[in-house]
Chain A
């Protein structure tokens, strides 16, 4: 069974810092890996999706990388802002065992960016 781990569980940084969130997964047979953002009491919003054949994806100040063979992904946030404060979740979609598109989630990294 796929297991997804995120480190650190929580992170508190001053505004303007560049930061890295880490995600690791146990089975490299994945279809894609996604990073989601969740604001308190809200649903999840997809930030970046990296297909298994890709190495990275970028959206604005966010950059996500994927090393499938080592089972790792990182989410890089440049020039962090207080509005980036949220929980960031990593999820993988296995490429075997199921064609139904279920995702396996990490427990998330709770990010606080203070002014």
Chain B
């Protein structure tokens, strides 16, 4: 079974702090994704990566950066956390290109609260 793990289930940070959210997958997937999920807005793509050290902006990259130094690990960085970044953050992975029957596998999510 594919396993996607996220470093924390719950995280509380202060405004202005630098925050790291870590995601690890164990299926040798090339693609990795970071989403945030807010009530009424659904899932929105922040960044994705299709290979080590490669990244692409999603729909809402402002205020975030990412790092992919190893294939299995994709980190989301909030350089200076703000209260409007309080949200549920979800990581996912999938095969690059892939077949029509391939899906994305999701981690359990990190509930981040910025005070």
Q: Which residues from chain A sit less than 8 Å from chain B, CB to CB?
A: 31-32, 34, 36, 41-46, 49, 51-53, 89, 99-103, 105-108
**The 8 residue pairs across chains A and B that have the minimum distance between CB atoms:** A107-B42, A43-B106, A51-B100, A44-B106, A105-B43, A43-B108, A46-B103, A101-B94
Main secondary structure of the interface of A (DSSP, over half): loop
Whether a CB of chain A sits under 8 angstroms from the CB of B20 is no
**1/0 per position for B85-115, CB-CB distance to A under 8 A?**
0001010101111101111111111010000
24 contacts between A and B (CB under 8 A): A32-B101, A34-B103, A41-B109, A42-B108, A42-B109, A44-B106, A45-B106, A46-B103, A46-B104, A49-B101, A49-B103, A89-B42, A100-B31, A100-B56, A101-B31, A101-B95, A101-B97, A102-B45, A102-B48, A102-B58, A105-B43, A107-B40, A107-B41, A108-B42
CB-based A-B contact count at 8 angstroms = 58
Give the total of B residues in contact with A, Cβ under 8 Å. Answer: 31
- Contact assessment for B33 and A102 in the assembled complex, using a CB-CB cutoff below 8 Å: yes
The closest CB in chain A to the CB of B108 belongs to A43
Contacts of A45 in B (CB 8 A): 106
A23–B56 alpha-carbon span in the complex (Å): 27
Shortest distance between the CB of A95 and any CB in chain B (Å): 9
Which B residue sits closest to A51, measured CB to CB? Answer: B100
Complex formed: what's the CA distance from A44 to B107 in Å?
8
B50 at the A/B interface (Cβ < 8 Å)? yes
Q: How far is the CB of B32 from chain A (nearest CB, A)?
A: 10
A85–B58 alpha-carbon span in the complex (Å): 30
Q: A100 and B96 in contact (CB under 8 A), knowing A51-B101, A105-B43?
A: yes
B56 near A53 (CB under 8 angstroms)? no
CB proximity of B115 to chain A, nearest CB, Å: 19
Given contacts A51-B101, A52-B100, A107-B41, A100 and B107 within 8 Å (CB-CB): no
Distance in angstroms between the alpha carbons of A99 and B97 in the assembled complex:
5
Distance (Å) between the CB of B107 and the closest chain A CB? 5
Cα of A53 to Cα of B99 in the assembled complex, Å? 12
Alpha-carbon distance A103/B92, docked complex (angstroms) = 11
Q: Closest CB-CB distance, B101 to chain A, in whole Å? A: 6
